[in-house]
A = this chain, B = another copy of it.
Amino acid sequence: MHNPFDFDKQTQLRELAAREGQATAQAHPNIAFIKYWGNQDDRLRLPVNPSLSMNLGNLHTLTTVIFDSNLSNDELVINETMTTGAALARVTAHLDLVRQQANLFSAAWVESVGNFPVGSGIASSAAAFAALSVASAAAAGLNLDESSLSRLARRGSGSASRSVPAGYVEWGMGDDENSVARSIAMPEYWDLLDIIVVVNHEHKVVGSSQGHTLAQTSSLQAARVAGAVERFEQCREALLARDLSKLGPIIEEDAVIMHAVMMSSRPPLYYWNSATMTVIQATHEWRNQGLQVYFTIDAGPNVHLICEAQNAESIVVQARQLPGVEAIFLSGPGGAARLVS
């Protein structure tokens, strides 16, 4: 179950973190109903279209940041593994934004633990950079509001901006100041479920950051962007009306269009595999049989089946039988990124 955000407790934790120079934050990954794919500005991660997502309450990343003047360099431990190279460089670049704002010069020890597979189309970087932003800002003694944290998270990973606010979240275009995410409905508003059908949990070959820069090489990207604004509005409306029969076709179309851009990029980028297609076809069959379920697919082969909670059991039972399905995770909407200690 989702725990509501307790402002008083967060204030206490933030004050404690500022005194101790260390903090631990939790954030959920999110599943995009309207996708983010391509930037107006790659460095600032300013998106070319608005996007809309649901935080995934059952999945989370816990990140601890300890600023320590005895360290000569930032150190990063992900899921109990000391990590260097590109992942560490990206975390250091993110910490530099915080250090700069806080006038802080210490290196940091960062430890991150997730309860779901990393880099497999479940937005692990979204949860990771949302948690890192909340923890590092607090540990650095900064008092940032939700918008500022969302903006900070965006700089680490675009979709991380959406993992900062609670529940159902929109992230608009704009400049560095105002391209931030905000809740459009709390988790309690609609009892949707995401049935995450994992068909392949190997780490993907091309990460999303690289993919975003490829997007502009597809002859379909301009059409995707032009249509995304309309899909975003329709999706938002369907969500606020809690109308899955309206929401579903839009999220399927939006997902397919993002993958069309990927597959028509130069060079092309294929995230779908045979099991992805099996689950897509099964979704169509289940719907023909009267089950209200729709798919969406992030930058990976896994398929996210979106349904209302009362239909989940029947879908899970059938999805387990499909060839190529390795694991299934379930999640309802989740809360905001927050300090936990």
A residues near B (Cβ < 8 Å) are 219-220, 222-224, 226-227, 249, 252-253, 256-257, 259-260, 263-264, 266-268, 270, 272-278, 280-281, 284, 323-324
Contact = CB atoms under 8 A, between A and B. Distances in A.
A222 to B, nearest CB: 7
A256 B257 CA distance: 11
Contacts of A226: 219
- Copies assembled: 2
Give 7 closest A-B pairs by Cβ, nearest first. A260-B260, A223-B223, A219-B227, A274-B274, A274-B278, A277-B277, A274-B277
Nearest to A223: B223
Contact of A268 (B220, B256, B259, B323): B256
25 contacts: A219-B223, A220-B220, A220-B223, A220-B224, A220-B227, A220-B257, A220-B260, A223-B223, A249-B268, A252-B268, A253-B264, A253-B266, A256-B263, A256-B268, A259-B260, A260-B260, A270-B284, A273-B277, A274-B274, A274-B277, A274-B278, A274-B281, A274-B324, A276-B277, A277-B277
A208 to B, nearest CB: 20
A231 B7 CA distance: 57
Contacts of A268: 249, 252-253, 256
Contacts of A276: 277
State the main secondary structure of chain A at its contact with B. Answer: helix
Contact of A257 (B260, B266, B267, B323): B260
Given A222-B223, A226-B219, A252-B268, A273 B281 contact: yes
Nearest to A227: B219
A223 B266 CA distance: 16
A263 B224 CA distance: 13
Contacts of A324: 274
Nearest to A301: B277
A272 B260 CA distance: 13
Contacts of A219: 223-224, 226-227, 257
B264 A260 contact: yes
A137 to B, nearest CB: 39
Nearest to A323: B274
A249 B257 CA distance: 20
A274 B325 CA distance: 13
B252 A257 contact: no
A282 to B, nearest CB: 10
A232 to B, nearest CB: 13
